[in-house]
Amino acid sequence: MLGKKGRAWGLWGRLAMLALVARGGAVVTLAPVGSGCAGGKPPVQQPLREVQQARWFGGPDGMHVEVLDFADSTALVRVLGVESELAGKVFAYQRVQNGDRLEYRTKLHGGDLYALVKERDGRWMAYVPGAQNGYALTYLEDKTASVDGAALQRTHQEQTASGELAAMQRFDRAAEQKHAEDQLAESSARTGTQCGKPLPITVAWPSVTDAQLLEKSVSGYCESVMSGLGRLCEGEVGKRFVAENVGAIECALDGNNQLSLTAQKLRWSINFDITNAEQQAYAALLALTPAGAPQTLQQQIFAERTYVCADADQKHVVVLGPREAAHKGMAYGDGKQMSWVRTPETLGDGWFFDPRQRNEKNSDDFRGLDLRLFSHVEPDAKTASCKLTCGARETSLKLITGAAKNAILEGASYVASPMEREPYALARDKAGTYYFVDRGVTEATARDFRLYKGPRGKLRALAMKDVVSDSEGEIFASTSGKLRLVLGKQSAQWISGGTATLLLLPLNENYGLVYNELGVYLTARLGVPCDDL
C-alpha cells in the first residue's frame, strides 16, 4: 500500500492534540507573545514545567533532535539541521508505547506525524517531512547537558501563542491538493520528456475524501499511469501512440481500476485498494487498441520487436521475437503455417537444438548446455540480413521489413513442432545391437515411452507392454524382452530368457548417432530452419 509521502509514517488513528499545562497549579491563560495587552502590561507567560528527562540525539550531517519528556507521557521535541518545515518548531507530542515501539505522536496539516520513534529493534529514528526513509539517530549523553529545557519550553509557548504551530497542524485541503499536484507535475515533466510531448495530468479531486487525502499519497497512486506511459514510450510504437492519441491525463480515485481513452483524454480510474498499480497501468495501456488500428498496443509492440528472416523466394521463413508473442519466441515455416521452435530460455534469442549438425567451435558447457549441438539465427537490422548457422555451415537470409513483414505476421498461423519425440536413453551390447528409448516432448506425453532395438541403421520399435519406474531404476517391458536401466548407476540390462549386461551410452555425446545413424529419426523433420536451409 502506498503511504503518505513526506508526512506520516504508519497510520495509528487520529490523536487529539494535548495542551501542555502546568501540573499541580492553575491553568494560566496567555495573551499572544509580543501582542501586548490592555493597559500596556507585558504578556503573561505560562509557568515552566518540571522536566522528567532531557535527551539529545545526533543524526547525519549535523542534523539533531532535542527532547524534553514530562511525567504525564507528553513531550516537547525540536528537530534542527534539516531542510524541513518542521525544523526549529517545538511541537507538543504524546509518548505512546505501541508494543515494543515507542512513538512520539503529534499532528501536521491534520495528519499523524511521528517525528521521533524508538523502533522495535532499539534504533532511534526521526521521521521528518521531506525525508522519506527517515534519519537514523544516536543518543549522545554528553550532548544532553546542552539541552536548555527552559528555553525550549519558552520557544514552544511563543510559537503556540503566535498561532504558527496551530496553523501548521490544522488540515488545509487546498494546500494538500497543491502539494499532490506539484508532485504530479514533476512526474508529468519526466514522462513528457520520455514521450516527446507535454502530458498534463489532473486529479478528479471530488473522488478523494479528506481522510484519504490525509492518509494516502494521491500523487503516488496517480503517478502509476505516468510510469506506464514512460515504459510505453521506450519504443517507437508507444511514442507514436502517445503523440497521436494522448493530449491529457486524468486520475480518479473512486473507480474500478480501469483505463479509458476518449477524445485525446486518458482517464485512469482506480481506487485506493489497488495493488501493483504501476504494473496494472502498463498492462491496461498495452490492452488498448488505438482508433483505426487492427491490433492492440501489446500486439504492435510484439511486432515491432519481432524479426522476420526469409530466403530469396520467401518460401522458408523464420520468425524471431518475444516469447509472449504468438510465435512463442521462434517459429519456422513457409510464412503461412509456422511451427513453434523449442528454444532454451537460458540462451539468447535465436538459439535452437539441432544435433544433426555439430559445431565443435561452440562451448561444450554453457549454462549447463552443450552448444555444439545448437544452431542459431542472428538478425542484423543494419545490413537488413540474417545469418543462419547450422552446425558450422552459414547461410545468409534476407531481413523482411515494412508491409511485407506485417503481412507475414498478421497472416501466419502457428502449430506445434512436427518433432513430437525426444531421446531418453541409449545402450548397446557387445555384438553391436542398440537399445534406444524415447518419449514425448510435452508435459502430457513425457511418460509416453517407446523402445527400439536393432543394429545401427535398422532399429525397429518393439511392442510395449509396461513401464516400471521406482528407486531401483526403470524397466521397459516389450513382447520381446525387458530393458532395465539404472540411470543413476549408469548400468543397463536386457532380459529375454537370460540377462545380458549392456553398455549405457551418454546421450550428450551420441546425439549425432541417434539422429543421423540409428535410423529412428533419419527422415524426421525437426521443424527448424536447418531442415531446409
Tens of pLDDT, residue by residue over 483-502, are: 998 866 778 999 998 999 99
* Residue whose C-alpha is closest to residue 435's, from 410, 460, 416: 460
- Alpha-carbon separation of residue 123 from 55, 69, 135, 176 (angstroms): 15, 18, 10, 31
Range with the lowest mean pLDDT among 132-136, 191-195, 383-387?
132-136
Confidence bin at 66 (pLDDT 50/70/90): very high
**Rounded CA separation 439/476 (Å):** 12
Q: What percent of the chain has pLDDT over 90?
A: 83
List the end-to-end C-alpha distance of the chain, in Å, as a whole number: 55
Q: Where are the alpha helices (DSSP H) in 20-126?
A: none
Range with the lowest mean pLDDT among 19-23, 200-204, 412-416?
19-23
Tens digits of residue pLDDT in 303-348: 999 999 999 999 999 999 999 999 999 999 999 999 999 999 899 8
What residues form DSSP beta bridges with 499?
495
Q: Is pTM beyond 0.85 here?
A: no
Q: Is 60 exceeded by the pLDDT of residue 20?
A: no
**Rounded CA separation 410/406 (Å):** 6
The confidence score (pLDDT) of residue 19 equals 37
Tens digits of residue pLDDT in 350-392: 999 999 999 999 999 999 899 999 999 999 999 999 999 999 9
CB 324 within 8 A of CB 512: no
**Rounded CA separation 242/249 (Å):** 11
The confidence score (pLDDT) of residue 65 equals 97
Q: Is 60 exceeded by the pLDDT of residue 68?
A: yes
Q: Is 50 exceeded by the pLDDT of residue 242?
A: yes
**Rounded CA separation 3/398 (Å):** 53
Amino acid 446 reads A
Confidence bin at 32 (pLDDT 50/70/90): very low
**Rounded CA separation 29/161 (Å):** 10
* Mean pLDDT, range 178-192, rounded to an integer: 95
The confidence score (pLDDT) of residue 46 equals 84
Q: C-alpha dihedral over 503, 504, 506, 512, to 10 degrees? A: 70
Instruction: Please provide the size of the chain in residues.
Output: 533
The confidence score (pLDDT) of residue 283 equals 97
Strand, coil or helix: what is 139?
A: strand
Q: Dihedral of CA 195/199/205/207: which sign?
A: negative
Q: Is 60 exceeded by the pLDDT of residue 460?
A: yes
**Rounded CA separation 7/96 (Å):** 18
Confidence bin at 131 (pLDDT 50/70/90): confident
**Rounded CA separation 317/311 (Å):** 7
Domain positions in the chain? 38-169, 174-294, 305-415, 421-531
Look over the chain and give the mean of its residue pLDDT values, rounded to a whole number: 90
Q: What percent of the chain has pLDDT over 70?
A: 91
Grid cell, residue 64, equals 539533531
The confidence score (pLDDT) of residue 43 equals 56
CB 238 within 8 A of CB 232: yes
Range with the lowest mean pLDDT among 13-22, 32-41, 51-60, 150-159?
13-22
Q: Is 60 exceeded by the pLDDT of residue 268?
A: yes
Confidence bin at 132 (pLDDT 50/70/90): confident
**Rounded CA separation 358/370 (Å):** 10
The radius of gyration computed from the CA coordinates of the chain, to the nearest angstrom, equals 37
The confidence score (pLDDT) of residue 40 equals 52
CB 286 within 8 A of CB 303: no
Tens digits of residue pLDDT in 421-453: 999 999 999 999 999 999 999 999 999 999 999
CB 409 within 8 A of CB 306: yes
